[in-house]
């Protein structure tokens, strides 16, 4: 917030008739545990009163509302050897965005803690949730009716519909949102005047009208922001690209942070990767240069990572990490379908509003076939099958560089066999010894090697015979276990 914004906010809060569920005034008394309890109470109180934020203000006299200033410096305070801001963050659950502003007005110092209203559940400080009853701080569990309202009001609101920035003017909307690209991507004519532009942005849920001002939604900012860092709750949602020297993370060569919204910046991200990724010469009808990795596959995987990330996990961003022998694409959260069913599964998204926008602007697939395309291009480029790693709070897809058959371990071969079998099945066909031999570029005389890969994959119960009664291995056909 600018100095002018802070001065306006201070005057607006001072003008309130009294403290309330979402505002508390103080002068100098600043006990860290009290501040934590107030942040819990004010966040929950803001949700109860349907306000965007709660405010703890130092420098306003409680009874008279006179501007008296404060001697409290939140950035100089430490508790349990930790900076106050960090100490508060780790004791608030779920982690809730709050900001601390210290500024001067007419020679007086003021401090404002601004905390976002709670979302899917009440905010607790040291496992206890608080609430404001008028100007008094109480434990939330002592007021079950208010607790019920807080639990119910936001539980069904998806992240995309939540507000990223409140109370912005019409001109600020046009400053923050890349509206020309919005109309270009949606193949809409650019309206001739500001009011028509704002109306279309509102109709598409990029913004919401709020009296004579506007709120910018999370999905609007995520997709069409000129600068995502201006949206405090979305700062960590950009795409981060890191190139490493060698096969590990010891030495990084270059690093790039995305700045724009996903839709606005996606083509630029792909151009950057295309310029940076290594190329190799391939022999077809003539020598030609080709990227070592299929860019279409990388595009699909990054788009999927954006769409399927779990926004409830804070402090994590989409990562694209490029090593000398592989590319790793990581998003926060676990998939909502089994990783073995990524191929040809019906389109299911954790963030359907975001996914729908991404489909409309042509960034991701609308048929749930994106991962099928990834496998197809890996086979075309004779690359190992991608690996899928699902951990406690992230999902990672690994695209491997070229490996010879001898360099593939047992897991690589089984994964390649299973994904090839899936790809054949979704193309209304079945895997055979011959089709897998061609996939791994194995000479015909070495067909026993292929038979061993198939046998190992069947032992892992990933594939099965299409016709269990067929006794001929030569003419055997195979389908995925789920078919």
Buried b / exposed e across 238-270, counting CB within 10 Å, b at 16+?
Answer: bbebbbbeeeeeeeeeeebebbbbbbbbbeebb
DSSP string for residues in 190-254: PPSSHHHHHHHHHHTTSEEEETTEEEEEHHHHHHHBS-GGGSGGGGGGSEEEEEESSSSSSSEEE
Q: pLDDT 10s per residue in the chain (483 long)?
A: 789 889 989 999 999 988 889 999 999 999 999 999 999 999 999 888 878 789 999 999 988 999 999 999 999 999 888 999 999 999 998 877 789 999 999 999 999 999 988 876 899 999 999 998 877 899 999 988 888 877 766 555 778 888 888 888 999 999 999 999 999 999 999 999 999 999 999 999 999 988 888 999 999 999 999 999 898 778 888 999 999 999 999 999 999 999 999 999 999 999 999 999 987 665 554 445 678 899 999 999 999 999 999 887 877 789 999 999 999 999 999 888 889 988 876 666 778 889 889 999 888 865 556 789 999 999 999 999 999 999 988 999 999 999 999 999 999 999 999 999 999 999 999 999 999 999 999 998 888 999 999 999 999 999 999 988 877 777 899 999 998
User: Which DSSP letter does residue 396 get?
Assistant: E
Bridge partners, 139 (sequence order): 130
Which pair of tokens denotes residue 179?
């509206």
Q: For residues 247 and 478, what is the distance between their CA atoms, to the nearest angstrom?
A: 35
Q: For residues 412 and 399, what is the distance between their CA atoms, to the nearest angstrom?
A: 12
Alpha helices in 77-189 (DSSP H): 84-91, 144-153, 170-176, 179-185
Domains and CATH numbers, the chain: 3-157 (3.30.950), 161-235 (no CATH), 238-403 (3.30.565.60), 406-480 (1.10.10.10)
Q: For residues 33 and 31, what is the distance between their CA atoms, to the nearest angstrom?
A: 6
- What are the backbone dihedrals phi and psi of residue 319, each rounded to the nearest 5 degrees, phi first? -120, 130
The CA distances from residue 443 to 182, 434, 435, 437, 448, in Å, are: 51, 10, 12, 7, 10
Q: For residues 362 and 348, what is the distance between their CA atoms, to the nearest angstrom?
A: 17
What's the CA angle centered on 341, arms 339 and 347, to 5 degrees? 105
Contact 42, 34 (CB under 8 A): no
Q: For residues 349 and 331, what is the distance between their CA atoms, to the nearest angstrom?
A: 14
Round to the nearest angstrom and report the end-to-end CA distance of the chain: 56
Bridge partners, 116 (sequence order): 53
Contact 256, 240 (CB under 8 A): yes
Q: For residues 358 and 344, what is the distance between their CA atoms, to the nearest angstrom?
A: 19
Alpha helices in 396-472 (DSSP H): 410-426, 433-439, 447-459
Which of these, 382, 399, 377, 479, lies nearest to 439 by C-alpha position?
382
pLDDT of residue 295: 94
**Residue that is written with structure tokens 């709050």 in the block:** 98
In sequence order, the 6+-apart residues with CB closer than 8 A to the CB of 438 are: none
């Amino acid at each position: 917030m600018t100095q002018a914004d802070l001065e306006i906010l201070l005057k607006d809060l001072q003008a309130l008739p009294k403290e309330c569920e979402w505002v508390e005034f103080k002068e100098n008394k600043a006990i860290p545990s009290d501040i934590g309890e107030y942040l819990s109470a004010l966040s929950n109180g803001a949700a109860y009163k349907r306000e965007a934020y709660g405010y703890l203000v130092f420098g306003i006299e409680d009874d008279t509302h006179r501007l008296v200033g404060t001697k409290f410096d939140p950035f100089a305070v430490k508790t349990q050897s930790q900076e106050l801001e960090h100490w508060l963050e780790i004791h608030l659950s779920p982690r809730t965005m709050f900001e601390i502003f210290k500024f001067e007005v007419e020679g007086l110092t003021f401090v404002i803690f601004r905390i976002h209203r709670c979302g899917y559940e009440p905010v607790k400080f040291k496992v206890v949730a608080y609430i404001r009853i008028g100007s008094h701080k109480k434990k939330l569990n002592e007021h079950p009716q208010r607790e019920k309202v807080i639990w119910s009001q936001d539980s069904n609101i998806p992240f995309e519909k939540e507000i990223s920035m409140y109370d912005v003017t019409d001109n600020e909307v046009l400053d923050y949102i890349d509206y020309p690209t919005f109309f270009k991507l949606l193949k809409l004519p650019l309206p001739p005047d500001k009011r028509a532009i704002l109306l279309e942005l509102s109709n598409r849920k990029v913004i919401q009208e709020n009296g004579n001002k506007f709120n910018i939604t999370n999905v609007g900012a995520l997709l069409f922001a000129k600068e995502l860092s201006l949206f405090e709750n979305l700062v960590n949602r950009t795409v981060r690209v890191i190139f490493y020297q060698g096969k590990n993370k010891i030495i990084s060569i270059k690093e790039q942070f995305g700045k724009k919204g996903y839709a606005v910046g996606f083509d630029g991200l792909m151009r950057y990767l295309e310029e940076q990724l290594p190329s190799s010469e391939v022999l077809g009808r003539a020598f030609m240069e080709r990227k070592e990795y299929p860019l279409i596959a990388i595009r699909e995987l990054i788009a999927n990572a954006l769409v399927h990330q779990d926004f409830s996990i804070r402090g994590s961003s989409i990562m694209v990490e490029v090593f000398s022998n592989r590319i790793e694409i990581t998003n926060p959260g676990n998939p909502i379908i089994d990783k073995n069913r990524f191929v040809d599964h019906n389109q299911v998204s954790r963030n359907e509003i975001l996914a729908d926008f991404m489909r409309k602007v042509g960034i991701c697939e609308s048929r749930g076939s994106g991962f099928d395309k990834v496998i197809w291009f890996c086979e075309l480029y004779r690359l190992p099958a991608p690996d899928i790693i699902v951990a406690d709070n992230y999902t990672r897809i690994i695209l491997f560089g070229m490996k010879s058959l001898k360099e593939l371990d047992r897991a690589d071969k089984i994964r390649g066999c299973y994904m090839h079998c899936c790809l054949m099945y979704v193309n209304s066909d079945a895997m055979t010894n011959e089709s897998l031999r061609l996939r791994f570029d194995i000479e015909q005389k070495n067909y026993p090697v292929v038979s061993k890969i198939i046998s190992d994959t069947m032992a892992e119960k990933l594939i099965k015979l299409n016709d269990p009664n067929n006794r001929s291995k030569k003419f055997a056909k195979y389908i995925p276990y789920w078919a």
